A and B are shown apart, each in its own frame.
Chain A
Amino acid sequence: MRNFILLIGFLLLSITLAQAQRTLRGTVTDPNGDPIIGASVFVVGTTVGTVTDFNGTYELLVPEGSTSIQLAYTGYQTQTITLGASNIVDVTLPEGVVLETAVVTALGIARDKKEIGYAIERVSGEEIQQKGEGDVLRALQGKVAGVNIIGSSSQPGSATRLVIRGNTSFLGQNQALYVVDGVPFDGSTYGASFQLTGGGAYGNRIADLDPNSIESITILKGATAAALYGSRASRGVVVITTKAGSGKKRDGLHIELSSGLATESIASLPDLQNLYGTGTGFNYAQSNGSWGAAFPGTVAYPTVDSINHWFRATAPDSYARFRELGTAGVTPRVAYQAYPDNVKSLFNKGTLLDHSVTLSTGLGTNGAFVATVSQLNHDGIFPNSSYDKTSVSVGGSNSWASGFKIGATLSFTSSLQKGLQGGAIGSAETSSYMARSLYMGRNWDIGQPYEDPVTHESIFFIGRGNADNPLWSAKYNGFNSDVSRTIVNLNAGYAIENLFDIDYRIGVNTYDQNDLEWFRPGSRGANGLGQVISGYNQFEEIESILMLSRRLRFNDDFALQARIGHNLNQRTVTSQNVLGSQMLDFNILDIDNTITQVSGGGDYTRERLIGVFGELTFDLKSYLFLTLTGRNDWSSTLPVENRSFFYPSASLAFVFSDALDMDPDGFLSSGKLRLNWAQVGNSPLPYSIDPIYYINLGEPDNLTAGVRDIDFPFNGHAGLTLENTLKDPNLKPEFTTNKELGLELGFLNNRITLDAAVYETVSTDQLAPLTLPTVSGYDAFYTNFGNLRSRGAEITLGITPLRTKDFEWTISGAFTKYKTTVEELYGDVNEIEIRALFGGSITPVLRVGEEYGVFRGTVSARDDEGNLLIDPSNGNVLNANAEQIIGNPNPDFTLGVVNTFKWKNFTLGAVLDWKQGGDLYSESVNQELGRGVLEFQAVNRELGAVIPGVYGDNVTLTPLLDEHGNKIPNQTLVEQNDLWFGSTFGANAQDEWLVFDATVVRLREVSLGYSIPAKTLKNSPIHGITISVVGRNLWYNAPNFPEDTHFDPETSTFGDSNFQGFEFQNLPSIRRFGANVKLTF
């Protein structure tokens, strides 16, 4: 390995060529004759190049012997001009769908796309701006092949998960590595508590990105593309270039103002029945389920017409305050009637306001300065849920004739997320807003007081031990998360004439997150005594990269580019939570306002990495490119003897259309074949070698009830316990190997383009806690084991069916299909729990032979023919003893189609996406069924049902046989109530019945824009105006969810975690309409 790097160094230093030069000048214009600013002009076959200035002119020193120059600008067709005798070369670039040329690759290295032997996709800033979406990743949905993006909830500021080409790690980070202006950008989620049992839908830190400040996003999909980034690259990389970091040169002062306003509302509500109120067996009772008496006038038989008022005060004085309820001690009666809008009224209209100013100007002759200031204010559809973010970024760069250049960016984001307490219905700690909101008892009048005027306690139709009134919960329970993030980035370069270019970059990326969660006294949560959790998380990452590079052209046929580099990285995380119990003052949300405080477990980790890398690209005749890379890392988290590890990559790009000299105006206008292989090593989490003791560890906080049975210190005594994970002192690095074959084709002068790739990624010797049988004395063994394989294909297809002078229609399709399979674990271990959720309920697991993160859960008993076994005593379904794999959250494929219509200055765009397959476990649907609120459940409710199946023996779980030895078909009638609430198919069903195929087709984004061109505005100071309207999530169809639920399966209670496909009373999805204006001065 070292030899490889030395070789590159030798090449860099040893070869120099002297060249004579001439100066070329010219202007680059678009078909309208307007100058193109910032077009790149390269001397073919050399590194010599420049960009056009504000007037579209360029000046270029061309080495002797060069015969042609190439001119390119995004959105225009690249032109290659053969040089004649003249030193003035003016060029007009035709507009059109083109294969992009210069792209940013790993470590910010700009390369000609043609020479790249791996999949890479670029999205411009415009494609995600002014789309009525403040979250960069969500704005990308449906637009990039090979990428799976899941938004977690409609809580403003909540997390979004982005995975490129499937998971590569059993239990570690699987989300892509984000790199902003050359420095890794941590996108983790931190939050004071776990969403299952309470706490909020926290954001992940990728939310700190300001979409307005983004110049472009480049997605490096495979490990080969990313190998130079080192360990974290096996997951793929999202490289973001900000406007401030782009170094785009401008003459004069440019100001861009953009403003957007959007309103949002809940995307869908279930169709609810309004015939039956709460109770059971057609009798009214004050309960959760709407299985009670019919409302007067809705059925042909007599029913109740009034009921006791549900209000029960716990303080004697409280009654007196409710004058309308009459005298104390006498329970008032109220009319028994349906409140058809009681669910709907819980969801408001939200707003999203987004303002941004970008200022850019030149500095001196070669310098640039850009500043962006943005403000986002997002109020959700729930009371007291919001996300406000202010971002400021500035960047400047300059270069000198001496070959020295320097640049720096600084960006700061301050955000405040406010939200509701979440959590699943079964958790006693939770007082979630959503605990009852989608399936309110049909006779519940939400307009009634929700707060005891004396004690402040929550008042609801059901006991306080069951749930908080959602209005009370929204007002008095919640969380907020206050984040400030700072990124500083300095880069400097020096081109040593005839030797090599030196580039150095150092960046610091840091954030402070301060969280607060609270339950006010009188809530169901926190024993009704009030609780404040205060937590902080500090993250700091320092990255330093030194790179030497050199490009050499030996002759017309052969060129070589070489780089070596050195990388230092340090990451530090410090966190602590303090839980304060028993609030004193009802309103003060401060840990000091509690009687007792315990720490919730602090953490400190620091890891360091040193890397040395090299890259060699061989360019043969400008149509065959071979790139070799090698990187050696030394990681602080491995045992000393194993801490050094090397990993190589190789990629080949073959532009066969050039090699075969195919006619660019022919049917096949361009064609390229890509082939690559890479290996990437990864090191373990810090402190994974030595066994430790936990100090004062309490019960796990994911108990069914979310309540700890016991904490330490106990009666004043500290308690220490050995951790339950066994450590392996001989850990080795884990490796991910990636193979990819790709094809890029352009037809009919690139009216049709196709980029297709197939790939395989195998991760071996995974570093993860291996599940041991508990009887071994440990739950897990942190060691190297197993094998995870992803195979996939992705296709990006671009078609321009129509192009006339004034009209253009383009279609861009992104197809993604992959499958990640657990091929091997270790020894007898054939399953690992990714995370135990509610103890014993549905669990996401890694199981040998199954896809990543399948669900294991309880199932109903069946006979050998698959018939359900029915309990003869009640007609319900018998439960099987053993759990089975009952669902797979991974979609079969996804397809995103973007249609763009341009007519004169109008642009109409529509993003349609289709996700086929992939399962979702939904507790909301479960409860909607179990509580009997859906419209179809009121049809023929008086009639019972017979569950198809055969009678079974509940001890042996085998079919009961009649005197002839035949199975006995079930004939036992169950009430509709039992059909959905018994041991059947709804609230108390085995897990398998609550897993639904989440296939969904969605009209994700429609936007209509109108630009007033610069020409029209000639005499005003305004250079351009763009007005657009946008709609998001306008329509969707998820056909496999139960009738009347209208459930949107794009939801994830667990944010960006590795266990996906779970919905535990999550905040439902939204629909948004917005309008934007952009002014350019």
Chain B
Amino acid sequence: MKTKILMLALVLFSLSCNDFLDINDDPNNPLKAELTTMLPYVQANMFGAMGIGTAGVSSILEVYTHHIVQRGNEDDYKVQANEFALGQCWEKLYAVGVPDLNQIIKQAGEENKPVYAGIARALKAHAFAMMVDMWDDIAYTEAGDPLKFPFPHYDSGESVYADVLVQLDLAIADLEKGGKTPTDDDLIYGGDVDKWIKYSNSVKLSVYNKARLTNLYNASEVDTLLAGPLLSSGEDFQLNYTTSISPENRNPGFIREYAQNKPEYFISPYFYLMMKGEQACQNDLLVGIQDPRIPYYFYNQLVPGEEAENPESYRDGGFLSIWFGSFDRDPNEGFDQAHSQTLVGLYPVGGAYDDGSGDVGSGDSGLKGEGPQRLLTAAAVDYIRAELALTQQTSDDARAMLSSAMAKSFAVVNEAASAVGAPLIAADAITSYTDQVLALYDAADAGKKLEIILTEKWIQEFGSGIESYSDIRRTGFPQVCDPAQDPNEYSIQTNPYPVSLPYSGNDLTNNGNAPAQRNQYLDKVFWDMN
């Protein structure tokens, strides 16, 4: 007996060898990833950060640009540093985007696949340019290298902008090297290197345009860009969402508006009235010019005369919404109007075309969420060219560029219309509209010409807030609604127009090298000369 027990003890002790403990490799998650699986993730991530949806910053910026109204702080030009969409945007850009993009660039170098590196460089440059547009000074040179810089210093927005231009050149150089190209793992251009080069050039052009009043502006570089390949129709920098509910691949804006039986965005009555060709708040720029895109942009759940489910705040025929600046002031703004309020329509989120039926929107409406999120469009490139031509006297013809930009703007709406089988906007309706705008343009002085270009650009940018938010701060155009001059007796504005966003709050707490929190009304972005 004694021997048996001692044997048992020996067996147990002999198990104490090291092999027994060498089991610390995670069998469920890999230590390495292929470029083809990393690229789609960073692309979708960037659109998630910048787009609309719960976790995208455009859900705030679209209120600042008066495309939509939401019940919350943003309704009076205020974002708190802990705002969810703000924190998520910051998280996606820095914690998800930067390490993944750096890894792609590094791994593409090791695997000798410069096209992947070029795409990643371009995406990273574009992302940082947009971050400067929101926050001016940001962590850049010390970002994404935590073993070296766990507590990064911030760089000036201007220096980041300067390096973004350098990085875009490096991206183009990588793209031009060719070699192995992505295929459909590139969710945006399907591995088309030429389109990525056009995109990189277009980002550069937009960066120069925003910085046109600063020392960074380089007229000869801009001329070179204008001569080179830029995004044209069908080449918009956009992420094409699908109708898949699970996995969730639908346009996040569509999910908010249609899928949950609780729409989150109201259409700004200001935007609606502008497009209707009526006086909107103090703005009479487009009075008399009715925009045929209305039923494609907005979906009415009511028909004229139909009773809404609750007392109304703003109602015009089938259109129902609430006013900017009325949150918690207008007694009627807070009621549930889930089945009554007008929804973001077919064009920007893959929702429904308004055929006048007044049906309640649902997850089955329209394109069922198969609408792209756009971040830089061919139309926007033309609006930028028009602005540069008008203000910097480039080689372009401003009027021709405005005309071409409007044509491209209508083309994408018709593209969505044909996808859903809705009637297209007739050619003569488009011509009539653009002719009226061009006539207005022709009659206008230089300042008003710029206003017309930027107002048209703003109409086209519905669904993504970053470009228009920059335009408004840079140029003052389009004008923003003064709630004191809308017909709603309760709506007022108590805060000034925010000139930048606060940094995501928690991040400053844990970084002694971070600057002080931004004052969103006073701390301007470096290109803001107003």
Contact of A398 with B by CB under 8 A: no
Q: Report yes or no: B310 in contact with A286, Cβ–Cβ below 8 A.
A: yes
Contact of A297 with B by CB under 8 A: no
Interface size class of B (residues with CB under 8 A): 35 or more
Q: Report yes or no: B152 in contact with A636, Cβ–Cβ below 8 A.
A: no
Known A528-B363, A596-B246, A873-B492; contact A604-B28, beta-carbon cutoff 8 A? yes
Specify which chain B residues have a CB less than 8 angstroms from the CB of A829 in the assembled complex. Answer: 510
Q: Report yes or no: B26 in contact with A687, Cβ–Cβ below 8 A.
A: yes
Cβ < 8 Å to A, chain B residues 59-115: 80-84, 86-88, 90-91, 94-96, 98-100, 102-103
The 0/1 profile, CB within 8 Å of B marked 1, for residues 705-742 of chain A is 10111111111011111111010000000000000000
Q: Report yes or no: A777 in contact with B260, Cβ–Cβ below 8 A.
A: no
Cβ < 8 Å to B, chain A residues 258-300: 280-281, 283, 285-287
The 0/1 profile, CB within 8 Å of A marked 1, for residues 23-36 of chain B is 11111111111100
Known A287-B335, A581-B246; contact A528-B38, beta-carbon cutoff 8 A? no
Q: Report yes or no: A776 in contact with B144, Cβ–Cβ below 8 A.
A: yes
Q: Report yes or no: B150 in contact with A463, Cβ–Cβ below 8 A.
A: no
Contact of A689 with B by CB under 8 A: yes
Q: Which of B96, B99, B259 contacts A527, CB < 8 Å?
A: B259
Q: Report yes or no: B245 in contact with A529, Cβ–Cβ below 8 A.
A: yes
Contact of A375 with B by CB under 8 A: no
Residue of B nearest to A466 (CB): B336
For the complex formed, measure the closest distance between the CB of A701 and the CB atoms of chain B, giving whole angstroms: 11
Specify which chain A residues have a CB less than 8 angstroms from the CB of B511 in the assembled complex. Answer: 773, 775, 828
Stretch at the interface among B14-22, B204-212, B219-227, B418-426: B14-22
Contact of B331 with A by CB under 8 A: yes
Q: Report yes or no: A281 in contact with B331, Cβ–Cβ below 8 A.
A: yes
For the complex formed, measure the closest distance between the CB of B371 and the CB atoms of chain A, giving whole angstroms: 13
Residue of B363, B492, B506 most packed against chain A (CB within 10 A): B506
For the complex formed, measure the closest distance between the CB of A179 and the CB atoms of chain B, giving whole angstroms: 20
Contact of B262 with A by CB under 8 A: yes
Q: Which of B20, B147, B252, B311 contacts A710, CB < 8 Å?
A: B252
Specify which chain B residues have a CB less than 8 angstroms from the CB of A781 in the assembled complex. Answer: 146, 150
**Whole-angstrom distance between the alpha carbons of A466 and B505 in the complex?**
30
Stretch at the interface among A835-843, A892-900, A908-916: A835-843
Q: Report yes or no: B252 in contact with A694, Cβ–Cβ below 8 A.
A: no
Specify which chain A residues have a CB less than 8 angstroms from the CB of B154 in the assembled complex. Answer: 775
Stretch at the interface among A339-347, A447-455, A874-882: A874-882
Residue of B nearest to A871 (CB): B494
Residue of B nearest to A291 (CB): B331
**Whole-angstrom distance between the alpha carbons of A1012 and B82 in the complex?**
65
Residue of B154, B249, B338, B362 most packed against chain A (CB within 10 A): B249
Q: Report yes or no: B25 in contact with A690, Cβ–Cβ below 8 A.
A: yes
Contact of B521 with A by CB under 8 A: yes
Residue of B nearest to A780 (CB): B95
**Whole-angstrom distance between the alpha carbons of A827 and B336 in the complex?**
48
Stretch at the interface among B48-56, B170-178, B399-407: B48-56
Q: Report yes or no: A568 in contact with B255, Cβ–Cβ below 8 A.
A: no
**Whole-angstrom distance between the alpha carbons of A781 and B510 in the complex?**
13
Residue of A nearest to B140 (CB): A775
Contact of A698 with B by CB under 8 A: yes
Q: Report yes or no: B24 in contact with A687, Cβ–Cβ below 8 A.
A: yes
Contact of A774 with B by CB under 8 A: yes
Q: Report yes or no: B80 in contact with A724, Cβ–Cβ below 8 A.
A: no
Q: Which of A524, A544, A711, A881 contacts B247, CB < 8 Å?
A: A711
Q: Which of A494, A690, A882 contacts B81, CB < 8 Å?
A: A882
**Whole-angstrom distance between the alpha carbons of A605 and B513 in the complex?**
38
Residue of B nearest to A286 (CB): B310
For the complex formed, measure the closest distance between the CB of A838 and the CB atoms of chain B, giving whole angstroms: 7
Specify which chain B residues have a CB less than 8 angstroms from the CB of A881 in the assembled complex. Answer: 80-81, 502, 517
Contact of B411 with A by CB under 8 A: no
Q: Which of B144, B256, B505 contacts A777, CB < 8 Å?
A: B144
Q: Report yes or no: A711 in contact with B248, Cβ–Cβ below 8 A.
A: yes
Q: Report yes or no: B38 in contact with A776, Cβ–Cβ below 8 A.
A: no
Q: Report yes or no: A775 in contact with B507, Cβ–Cβ below 8 A.
A: yes
Number of interface residues of A (CB under 8 A): 119
Specify which chain A residues have a CB less than 8 angstroms from the CB of B96 in the assembled complex. Answer: 721, 724
Q: Report yes or no: A710 in contact with B48, Cβ–Cβ below 8 A.
A: yes
Specify which chain B residues have a CB less than 8 angstroms from the CB of A502 in the assembled complex. Answer: 5, 9
Contact of A983 with B by CB under 8 A: yes
For the complex formed, measure the closest distance between the CB of A303 and the CB atoms of chain B, giving whole angstroms: 16
Known A280-B334, A463-B338, A777-B99; contact A720-B23, beta-carbon cutoff 8 A? no
Q: Report yes or no: B150 in contact with A776, Cβ–Cβ below 8 A.
A: yes
Stretch at the interface among B39-47, B268-276, B443-451: B39-47
Contact of A692 with B by CB under 8 A: yes
Specify which chain B residues have a CB less than 8 angstroms from the CB of A462 in the assembled complex. Answer: 336
Residue of A nearest to B15 (CB): A568
Known A687-B24, A709-B56; contact A721-B45, beta-carbon cutoff 8 A? yes
Specify which chain B residues have a CB less than 8 angstroms from the CB of A827 in the assembled complex. Answer: 150-151, 512
Q: Report yes or no: B30 in contact with A692, Cβ–Cβ below 8 A.
A: yes
Contact of B514 with A by CB under 8 A: yes
Q: Which of A840, A874, A954, A983 contacts B83, CB < 8 Å?
A: A840
Residue of A604, A643, A954, A983 most packed against chain B (CB within 10 A): A954
Cβ < 8 Å to B, chain A residues 777-826: 777-779, 781
Residue of A nearest to B490 (CB): A874
**Whole-angstrom distance between the alpha carbons of A428 and B84 in the complex?**
15
For the complex formed, measure the closest distance between the CB of A598 and the CB atoms of chain B, giving whole angstroms: 5
**Whole-angstrom distance between the alpha carbons of A287 and B12 in the complex?**
69
Q: Report yes or no: B84 in contact with A719, Cβ–Cβ below 8 A.
A: no
Cβ < 8 Å to B, chain A residues 686-704: 686-687, 689-696, 698-699, 703-704
Q: Report yes or no: B331 in contact with A693, Cβ–Cβ below 8 A.
A: no
The 0/1 profile, CB within 8 Å of B marked 1, for residues 978-990 of chain A is 1001110000100
Residue of B nearest to A828 (CB): B512
Q: Report yes or no: A714 in contact with B40, Cβ–Cβ below 8 A.
A: yes
Contact of B233 with A by CB under 8 A: no
Cβ < 8 Å to B, chain A residues 601-630: 602-608, 610
Contact of B288 with A by CB under 8 A: no
The 0/1 profile, CB within 8 Å of A marked 1, for residues 231-273 of chain B is 0000000001010111111001001100111110000000000
Q: Which of A634, A773, A838, A955 contacts B510, CB < 8 Å?
A: A773
Known A465-B338, A466-B336, A719-B40; contact A596-B245, beta-carbon cutoff 8 A? yes
For the complex formed, measure the closest distance between the CB of B126 and the CB atoms of chain A, giving whole angstroms: 18
**Whole-angstrom distance between the alpha carbons of A640 and B252 in the complex?**
46
Q: Report yes or no: B517 in contact with A882, Cβ–Cβ below 8 A.
A: yes
Contact of A1027 with B by CB under 8 A: no
Q: Report yes or no: B82 in contact with A828, Cβ–Cβ below 8 A.
A: no
Specify which chain A residues have a CB less than 8 angstroms from the CB of B44 in the assembled complex. Answer: 710, 712, 714, 719
Q: Report yes or no: A712 in contact with B143, Cβ–Cβ below 8 A.
A: no
Specify which chain A residues have a CB less than 8 angstroms from the CB of B149 in the assembled complex. Answer: 776
Known A287-B335, A546-B9; contact A709-B53, beta-carbon cutoff 8 A? yes
Q: Report yes or no: A428 in contact with B262, Cβ–Cβ below 8 A.
A: yes
Q: Report yes or no: B248 in contact with A774, Cβ–Cβ below 8 A.
A: no
Known A608-B21, A711-B249; contact A720-B38, beta-carbon cutoff 8 A? yes
Specify which chain B residues have a CB less than 8 angstroms from the CB of A694 in the assembled complex. Answer: 29
Residue of A nearest to B55 (CB): A709
Residue of A nearest to B261 (CB): A465
Specify which chain B residues have a CB less than 8 angstroms from the CB of A776 in the assembled complex. Answer: 94, 139, 143-146, 149-152
The 0/1 profile, CB within 8 Å of A marked 1, for residues 131-146 of chain B is 0000000110011111
Cβ < 8 Å to B, chain A residues 462-487: 462-466
Q: Report yes or no: A779 in contact with B23, Cβ–Cβ below 8 A.
A: no
Contact of A225 with B by CB under 8 A: no
Q: Report yes or no: B261 in contact with A705, Cβ–Cβ below 8 A.
A: no
**Whole-angstrom distance between the alpha carbons of A968 and B100 in the complex?**
54
State the 9 A-B residue pairs at the shortest beta-carbon distance, nearest first. A465-B262, A719-B41, A777-B144, A840-B82, A839-B84, A775-B139, A711-B247, A828-B512, A581-B246
Besides A598-B247, A775-B154, 17 more A-B contacts (Cβ < 8 Å) are A463-B338, A466-B262, A527-B260, A528-B261, A596-B245, A608-B23, A636-B20, A690-B25, A693-B31, A709-B54, A719-B40, A772-B146, A772-B151, A772-B510, A777-B143, A840-B82, A883-B81
